[in-house]
Amino acid sequence: MPRRLAASAAALAALLAAAFTAAPPAPAAPTRSAEPAASATVTAGAGFWHTSGRKILDEAGNPVRIAGVNWFGFETSNYVAHGLWSRDYRSMIDQMKSLGYNTIRLPYSDDIFKGTTPTSLNTSGGMNADLVGLNSLGVMDKLVDYAGTVGMKVILDRHRPDSGGQSALWYTSSVPESTWLANLKSIAARYAGNSAVVGIDLHNEPHDPACWGCGDQATDWRLAAQRGGEAVLSANSKLLIFVEGVQSFNGSSYWWGGNLQGAGQYPVQLSVAGRVVYSAHDYATSVAQQSWFSDPSFPANMPGIWDKNWGYLFNQNLAPVWVGEFGTTLQSATDQTWLRALVQYLRPTATAGADSFQWTFWSWNPNSGDTGGILNDDWTTVNTVKDGYLASVKSPGFGGGPGGGSGDTQPPSVPGGLAVTGVTASSVSLSWAASTDDTGVTGYEVYRGGSKVASVAGTSYTDGGLGAATAYSYTVRAKDAAGNVSAASAAVTATTSAGGGGSAGCAAEISLNDWGSGLTATVTVTNTGTAATKGWQVVWTWPTGLQISGSWSADVTRDGQAVTARSLAYNGVLAPAASTAFGVQATRTDASAAASATPVCTATS
């Protein structure tokens, strides 16, 4: 997950290393064979894949588009995908598919080759029953096999050398290059007969001192990627080799793993043609502030930045480009603008088809500290606003996998123009534009949050029985007679009226990330009242030895030792029990200055 930044200051590097929560997974097992993939709305292309120019093609030569999510956990000290403490793995994968995602990037660390035992697995009431007694690789087998059964693909991501943290280079003092190569070969052989696994991401986010094309065997990531790629192909010549960028090239710095400026001049060359896919990571201000976000031309400057760092490889038809990680909490207006611009740059599936940038969003998990996830903190409901941003670039119909049936697999177009047409204290009325389909649209499914609340034949619906002064988010999907379901529409949010009474109140809690010379404070504001807030203000006291150097998602001012944070236009309205968060960064000029504080929150309604 986020720990990808091109940061020059040591303090900022320490901040990022501490803030990234996940980004972080026995001897080699026999080759595993996949079960036939069922005909499904969301299916990736049949068989193993290869490349041609900037396209990725399936076994039959049909272009495909990776449109997926990162599901992390195997690379952490849990040694298993996160969230299985709450849900069965099948329901998790089924939900990914139902939302229109077709690929899972599955991070792991080299620790899982030591026979690690998963922790935090919920096996009560028959949940995850077939995972009982398995080691980490055995659980991974189950996840991969089930993904293949329902028509999804998997990209395995060597995310960390061990569960303790990620590394700048592909090796460390305790995990040498020889171990990295042996484990790449082992996991490639493990899934050699299973086309659910289409490729391996060789190492997550190489960064300084990693270089590209410098010729130093100890630091040249491009040369190492060639050695790693050959190790994979020696065990399974049909896999794609995903190669991330570095941090710096010829004095130009970018996000960790996101700088592919040198790949045009110094391409990765492998003994098997049609296997290399370049991968970039890209983030917004919830991960770290960068100069381009404050440029007066933002966001018009972003396509040029993306072109320079990785987009040129696609634009010049040199190779496919996969944005393997991108994400944001969406708490700031800058991040919202950035995500809209990036999604547009990736090229909508509706207009560019499979001849588009590939992508997997970071992350599916909600417990990614600096981005959050597609799922909410309950690990079940969907952040429909975040999911809605991705609607135009989802690609839910690549055609059947091995054993897939024929017939209509083309979903309807995404419903457009979803709008709130009326609100009362207990209801929200919606309307949207009709979808189109090659065989005809038969109806629409209306979702409140991540739950379907209605199936209707027309293009309007009133959702009743709601709570007063409460915010609700809605999306709509179209369906046809064959059962194909479109990707979700863009989300809309409505707040029911107060309904005569209630008062607003709020509470604030500060969480500190302190590294000595500086810190960040994440402040969570929660509406504790019975009516929606119109705004909020949080006040606390800090000694003058803590100097505020930045903030986000709030208007932060200081008068002596008193720090005041006020809500912004987009996060002042909170329904009862709803929460939002903002952050403050400070440097410590007095080593004795304590950062602990008791915040006082005041709400207006």
Which residues form the catalytic set? 205, 325
SS (H, E, C) 219-277: CEHHHHHHHHHHHHHHHCCCCEEEEECECEECCEECCCCCECCCCCCCCCCCCCCCCEE
> 578-595 in b/e burial notation, b at 16+ Cβ within 10 A?
ebbbbbbbbebeeeebeb
Record the tokens describing residue 509, joined without a space: 């809690």
CA distance 343 to 330: 14
CA distance 244 to 268: 11
> 423-449 in b/e burial notation, b at 16+ Cβ within 10 A?
eeeeebbbbbeebebeeebbebbbbbb
Instruction: Detail the DSSP E strand segments found in 287-370.
Output: 321-327, 358-361
Contact at 8 Å (CB) between 218 and 180? no
Contact at 8 Å (CB) between 158 and 166? no
Record the tokens describing residue 586, joined without a space: 């400070």
CA distance 488 to 490: 7
DSSP string, 381-425: SB-HHHHHHTGGG--------TT---S--PPPPPPEEEEEEEE-S
Residue 91, C-beta contacts closer than 8 angstroms, at least 6 positions apart: none
Contact at 8 Å (CB) between 512 and 425? no
CB count within 10 Å of CB 525 equals 28
DSSP H or E stretch at residue 17: helix 10-19
Burial class for 129, CB neighbours closer than 10 Å (0-12, 13-18, 19+): exposed
Record the tokens describing residue 189, joined without a space: 């052989």
DSSP string, 83-124: TTTTS-HHHHHHHHHHTT--EEEEEEEGGGGGTPPP-S---G
3-class state of residue 428 by DSSP: strand
β-bridge pairing 416-423 and 276-283? unpaired
CB count within 10 Å of CB 125 equals 8
| Sign of the CA dihedral with 225 first, then 347, 308, and 1 last | negative
β-bridge pairing 562-566 and 555-559? antiparallel
